[in-house]
């Protein structure tokens, strides 16, 4: 069973997590390699919040790369008949994500550009995230990093560790509804989307928890990054 870390309201435990992310994760010198840390978890669990805190604490040696940049564009989802399932595993370019992680692992002498995700547009944005050659630690987060399917397993060997973020279900649902409202959905539509689309995905993601190297419970964390 994976080790469990409960983050308190003050977030003091996040400092230790940042040390773990930036420290040596395997034996033997790998001077040219990067450390890649994956953060998985259900929709609304707080993956992005934790990833951003780690990058902030590690500093210029770190960069964050979101899986959300590998959402298929709405035009492609319409073509495949998947628009109403946006956010499900099959609505991502998982093979492309694995290929990007392999490039990041190689640490070339030039910047590697990764796609981002614009929540106002609800669309991926090409080359929105630059990872400079000097970056030593990449923190990448997304729902399906531990999913046991060929296209998702392809990314796992590139990651030194994958952590699973968990939070109280009621809080997670509240966050999802607020997020959907913030980016344009009405209250009823936001709650219906969270229950109809997000929750089936959440149950699938929850089933991957035991494959994680570390479980991080952020239910009590206020989101404060300790100094």
Q: Where are the domains of the chain?
A: 3-217
CA distance 174 to 219: 13
Other C-beta atoms lying within 10 Å of the C-beta of residue 150: 9
Q: CB-side exposure of 23: number of CA atoms within 13 Å?
A: 6
pLDDT tens track for 199-225: 888 999 999 999 999 999 999 998 889
* Residue 24: per-residue pLDDT: 66
Task: Tell me the whole-structure pTM to 2 decimals.
Answer: 0.90
**CA distance between the termini of the chain:** 31
Quote the CA–CA distance of 212 and 17 in Å, as a whole number. Answer: 15
DSSP for residue 209: G
Distance, CA of 12 to CA of 221 (rounded, Å): 9
Beta carbons of 58 and 65 less than 8 angstroms apart: no
Q: Return the bridge partners of 65, or none.
A: 140
Two structure tokens written together for 86 = 């946006």
The predicted structure's pLDDT at residue 172: 86
The pLDDT value recorded for residue 25 is: 43
The string of DSSP codes covering 141-177 is E-TTTT--SHHHHTTGGG-SEEEEEE--HHHHHHHHH
What residues have CB less than 8 Å from 145, skipping those under 6 apart? 38, 39, 40, 67, 152, 155, 156, 159, 162
In this prediction, the residues of the chain whose per-residue pLDDT falls under 70 are 24-32
Taking the C-alpha atoms of residue 69 and residue 26, their distance in angstroms, rounded to an integer, is: 28
**What CATH number has the domain spanning 3-217?**
3.40.50.300
The pLDDT, as a whole number, for residue 150 is: 97
């Amino acid at each position: 069973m994976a080790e469990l870390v409960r983050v308190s309201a003050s977030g003091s435990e996040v400092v230790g997590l940042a040390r773990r992310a930036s420290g040596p994760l395997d034996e033997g010198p790998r001077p040219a390699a990067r450390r890649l840390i994956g953060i998985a978890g259900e929709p609304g669990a707080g993956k992005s919040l934790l990833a951003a805190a780690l990058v902030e604490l590690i500093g210029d040696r770190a960069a964050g790369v979101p899986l959300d940049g590998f959402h298929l564009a709405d035009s492609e989802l319409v073509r495949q008949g998947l628009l109403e399932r946006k956010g499900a595993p099959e609505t991502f370019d998982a093979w492309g994500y694995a290929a990007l992680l392999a490039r990041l692992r190689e640490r070339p002498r030039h910047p590697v550009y990764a796609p981002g995700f614009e929540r106002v547009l609800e669309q991926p944005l090409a080359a929105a995230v630059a990872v400079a050659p000097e970056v030593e630690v990449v923190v990448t987060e997304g729902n399906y990093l531990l999913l046991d399917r060929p296209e998702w397993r392809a990314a796992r060997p590139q990651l030194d560790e994958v952590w699973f973020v968990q939070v109280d279900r009621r809080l997670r649902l509240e966050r999802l509804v607020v997020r959907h409202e913030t980016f344009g959905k009405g209250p009823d539509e936001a709650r219906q989307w969270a229950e109809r689309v997000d929750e089936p995905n959440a149950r699938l993601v929850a089933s991957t928890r035991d494959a994680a190297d570390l479980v991080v419970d952020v239910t009590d964390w206020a989101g404060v990054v300790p100094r």
